[in-house]
Structure 1
């Protein structure tokens, strides 16, 4: 009996994961989003190793080069730096800030959302915090926090993460309020299970799918937020590249070498588009009702 249960449980988990992956790539949008996300992650992970030049290497003899000239595939900027190399490094930096911001938002928003959704007195206090935070537009809040804390990669990630905490908190709170009405949670309460066990073992595992989807939804906004902060000089600082810094520099010579601004903007658009497509497809794949249509 014990052996059968031990074998069946992993097989069930494998089948469940396989079903999610199948639904994820079963639609054109899901397949495209998955492929684009994989390409973005690969470019961020190994792109700097494949970059033909260092991001800070200057070639003053070849400024403002056009595409595919003088050995520079995507041209050069005003200092003769290779645009392709800087895009690969900048993509990595922008994605890192976005992931750190999302990680902070999930790490803080999840326990607060669980507590607010389950315990009414805590909900009254935490909801006031959310109301105050949402009173400020996200970008204004991020700019203010970054300006106060100082310009750096870590401070930009913290500022963006704080701005996203209410998004995660509200999703987890809503899921917790729904789940606490389920019979398995009421059974745990009836056995006098401690609060940490109810939240950690019975509610949190059933909110993970919603948390994962929410993380993929806010990641594109975090990438745009990092680009905006760096564009304003409140994010990553030169000589380290980021997509926002490249856009800020490119505006000074946009009429002479418009390809730098265009390519940087397209990189941001493709990254955000990829994660948006992937997030939508992942939400449908994790929804148990989505399998009814197949």
Structure 2
């Protein structure tokens, strides 16, 4: 007798959770296909939601889909389902980024899905914030738990030293100024985001000739974390996306606000200097700003009907 696979209602709920993931400019570059006979969910790249200027190598697209994949796994664990995941399963189909076979029964305490179900309530609470955070330091035990969350997904989370933090802030400021001066990247930012650009990742104003704005009061010493992997392949980008979302969900559970920046790693002459030479991290994929800040509203999401096809 063929094992019973999850029905349409269950899968729709899982995909709704998946689509709450963050993505560069909220482009939401994912599609899902559910093969109901086998219980397999395909996570696919939506190239019509790609950002060729802001994300020329597809790193952010893979990371966004990886974050959605993590949410899918969290929702599956919450529903009492195991999610057997394979990354880039078909070398001849580069749009197929992952397959997830859903089956009854959660992973054991030491399995890859251990503890994921506990993060389910944070999926719809997680936000990306560009508002000021207070200067209260994130405690060391919380930092350790965030590091562990990244490591569970095959990535690293590194809190840079004070001197390197200043270097990273300058690099991000430089990269965001370049983005606004680049017609292609600026057009993508305007197309995919509702908020007009005015301040960078840490609240500092971009150059006046690019955007007329005034500074606001942000924290004196932003608390940054660098998330990366040992290597820099498409599989690493997907793993980094999963690790990023696991860190963000846990940060939300810990009462933290978070902001993200990946612009500096997309400029080849800036990318290598983002990495902290005191760290063993091979490639930084995203910079996080962490702290305690006010609540912010959710960003719009595409209806599940637009991103899910069921066979």
TM-score, normalised with respect to structure 2: 0.24
More strand by share: 2
Structure number, greater radius of gyration: 1
More helix by share: 1
TM-score, normalised with respect to structure 1: 0.25
